[in-house]
């Protein structure tokens, strides 16, 4: 096989394969059919394999042709993106921040926690939601700049990550208008009779809420448990049940979702952590998230 390789030949083959025939490819390229055919034969000669075979009035890929086509697709798809890459390179530089969002963290709280960096000029924010342990792995491999979570990273000598407390917020109970009167009457004992929605154990606060019920001797009337905090809020706002949420997001809940505060979940707070892969933070936007830490009570 020849060691020379001509990307122009590969491009003509790519067009022929996409168009399904020499004549259609020649029309697209505004070239003679013979010229296109010659270029493809040159590619086959340089690779040492037949790439196309007759199929009706057109052509089909051989096994070797399919392998070459897969690589050609990657090469020319990247080439099509080149103008955008150049425009971005010579335009205003972006500031990239890759944030991992733990599944157990309330989504409304995330917006509040991210507020210090949201108006950064030319910000390019990448948010990835996943299970806590998987996010810590990506953080350790420097695929993420920071992880936001409702708990600190567990002690692990093989995992060099560092937890920073961003703040805390007391928990309260909220209800849609249809459930408000019943929930407030005899609260918190009313939670044994009115329908109650809770986060699953994915949320660190769930265990603290369970202990709160135990301490008060209440067996809650649980009608729904949600791994996704946004779904919990959505079903709560729709009137499916009374639900707990951090007071940090109370104004958003009452104004956007038209729910009302029922009462305190006394002694129970949700904690917010930023976890980074370096003990000494160097990313300027991660520093903005951490300094000063916001303590919500």
For the segment 194-251, what is each residue's pLDDT rounded down to a tens digit? 999 999 998 999 999 999 999 999 999 999 999 988 899 999 999 999 999 999 989 8
d(CA 69, CA 18): 9
Name the CATH code of domain 95-167+273-290 (choices 3.40.50.2000, 3.40.430.10, 3.40.190.10, 3.40.50.300): 3.40.190.10
Instruction: Measure the CA–CA gap between 97 and 144, rounded to whole angstroms.
Output: 8
User: What is the torsion angle, in degrees rounded to the nearest 10, for the CA atoms of residue 273, residue 278, residue 281 and residue 282?
Assistant: -140
Phi-psi region of 239 (alpha: psi -120 to 50; beta: other; left: phi over 0): left
Query: Contact, 150 vs 271, CB < 8 A?
Result: yes
Pick the CATH number of 7-90 from 1.10.10.10, 3.40.50.2000, 3.90.79.10, 3.30.1490.20: 1.10.10.10
Q: Within 13 Å and on the Cβ side, how many CA atoms surround 39? A: 21
E strand or H helix that includes residue 41? helix 33-47
Neighbours of 183 (CB within 10 A): 25
Residues 6+ apart with CB under 8 A from 191: 173, 183, 213, 218, 220, 221, 242
Average pLDDT, the chain: 88
Question: What does pTM read for this prediction?
Answer: 0.64
The rounded distance, in Å, linking the Cα atoms of 71 and 77 is 10
Domain ranges of the chain: 7-90, 95-167+273-290, 168-271
- Average pLDDT on 69-88 reads 79
How many angstroms separate the CA atoms of 170 and 204, rounded?
A: 14
R_g over Cα of the chain:
29
Task: Give me the pLDDT at residue 296, please.
Answer: 40
Are 95-167+273-290 and 168-271 the same fold in CATH? yes
Asked if omega into 219 is within 30° of 0 (cis), the reply is no
pLDDT at 279 over 90: no
Q: How far is CA 285 from CA 22, 120, 128, 214, in A?
A: 54, 8, 17, 41
Neighbouring residues of 156: CB distance < 8 A, sequence distance ≥ 6: none
- Over range 130-147, report the average pLDDT: 89
- Cα gap 154→137, rounded to integer Å: 12
pLDDT band (50, 70, 90) for residue 91: low
Q: What CATH number was assigned to the domain covering residues 168-271? A: 3.40.190.10
DSSP 226: E
Residue whose C-alpha is closest to residue 59's, from 17, 8, 9, 15: 17
- pLDDT tens per residue, range 3-58: 466 888 999 999 999 888 999 988 988 889 999 999 999 999 989 999 999 888 88
pLDDT higher than threshold 80 for residue 269 = yes
């Amino acid at each position: 096989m020849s060691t020379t390789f001509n990307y122009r030949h590969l491009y003509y083959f790519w067009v022929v394969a996409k168009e399904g025939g020499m004549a259609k490819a020649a029309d697209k390229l505004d070239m003679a059919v013979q010229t296109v055919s010659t270029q493809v034969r040159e590619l086959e000669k340089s690779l040492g394999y037949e790439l196309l075979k007759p199929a009706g009035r057109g052509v089909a890929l051989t096994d070797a042709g399919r392998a070459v086509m897969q690589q050609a697709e990657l090469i020319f798809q990247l080439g099509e993106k080149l103008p955008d890459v150049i425009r971005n390179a010579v335009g205003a530089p972006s500031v990239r921040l890759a944030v991992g969002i733990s599944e157990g963290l309330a989504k409304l709280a995330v917006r509040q926690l991210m507020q210090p960096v949201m108006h950064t000029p030319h910000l390019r924010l990448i948010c990835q939601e996943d299970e806590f342990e998987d996010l810590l792995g990506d953080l350790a491999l420097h695929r993420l700049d920071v992880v936001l979570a409702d708990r600190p990273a567990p002690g692990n000598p093989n995992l060099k990550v560092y937890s920073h407390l961003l703040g805390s917020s007391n928990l309260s109970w909220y209800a849609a208008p249809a459930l408000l009167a019943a929930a407030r009457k005899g609260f918190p004992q009313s939670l044994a009779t009115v329908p109650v929605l809770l986060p699953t154990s994915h949320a660190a606060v769930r265990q603290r809420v369970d202990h709160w019920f135990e301490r008060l001797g209440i067996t809650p009337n649980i009608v729904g448990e949600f791994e996704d905090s946004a779904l919990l809020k959505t079903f709560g706002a729709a009137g499916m049940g009374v639900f707990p949420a951090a007071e940090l997001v109370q104004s958003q809940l009452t104004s956007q979702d038209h729910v009302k505060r029922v009462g305190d979940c006394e002694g129970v707070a949700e904690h917010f952590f930023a976890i980074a892969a370096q003990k000494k933070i160097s990313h300027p936007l991660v520093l903005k998230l951490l300094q000063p830490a916001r303590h919500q009570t």
